[in-house]
Structure 1
């Protein structure tokens, strides 16, 4: 997904967006506009994200491509999946990592 920004929906509403950079770096922006820089890594078939707000909290997702869209869910939790609403090459409206707000 490097070079893309994916926008995810949950239950028909925007949940958040993630921009994917080289080397596993990501920028997350939730629906309220809060931006977090982080990184992703593969772990035993899951994709795990670690964000700057809590580097000890690994958020691991099962991910699949369904009907051409990325779908992600938290294994073992139940509940609904995040579904890619659309993707684009445009960057997120967030401060660059390391620059602060």
Structure 2
């Protein structure tokens, strides 16, 4: 598990500059996410990663850039929000949520940083997405 100091340092390095950042709790992240659909892009390069609809605090639907959907079970482990997807059973798919330079961002233990670029209440549109 990442220490807070390491996470903040890594986020600064990944983003290329030391600007205002604040780690937020998984509960605060889920408060913002529940009932919403987030679009994620890589922090550096801005490449589209995918879109996630947070159906409940413990269930989401992830749509990849190919348009394929999968359900994800959401858990909280310390300061991290973790996802276990039906088609990607990696129990270490966890993220530290941050407010960073005015953006909502998440950072994986690997140092990968993604930025939330769009928040809507629209459901995901892809094969296998829920209808309610």
SS of the aligned residue for 1:33 comes to coil
**TM-score of the aligned structures, taking structure 2 as reference length:** 0.65
Residue in structure 1 matched with residue 72 of structure 2 by the alignment: 38
CA 1:24–1:72 in structure 2 vs 1: closer, same or farther (change >3 Å)? same
Q: How many residues align?
A: 94
The alpha carbon displacement at 1:23 in A equals 4.2
Q: Which runs of 5+ in 1 are unaligned?
A: none
SS of the aligned residue for 2:122 comes to coil
Q: Per-residue displacement from partner, 1:30-67 (whole Å, max 9, x unpaired)?
A: 11112111111110111110010143x12111111224
Task: Determine the C-alpha separation between the residues in 1 that align with 2:39 and 2:52.
Answer: 7
Q: What root-mean-square deviation, in Å, do the aligned CA atoms of Structure 1 and Structure 2 show?
A: 1.6
Q: Map 1:69-88 to 2 at 5 A.
A: 69-75=103-109, 77-78=110-111, 80-88=112-120
Structure (1 or 2) with the greater strand fraction: 1
- Higher radius of gyration, 1 or 2: 2
1:6 aligns with 2:38: yes
**TM-score of the aligned structures, taking structure 1 as reference length:** 0.82
CA 1:30–1:83 in structure 2 vs 1: closer, same or farther (change >3 Å)? same
Task: Determine the C-alpha separation between the residues in 1 that align with 2:123 and 2:103.
Answer: 19
Runs of 4+ in 1 over 6 A off after TM superposition: none
Structure (1 or 2) with the greater helix fraction: 2
Q: Which runs of 5+ in 2 are unaligned?
A: 1-32
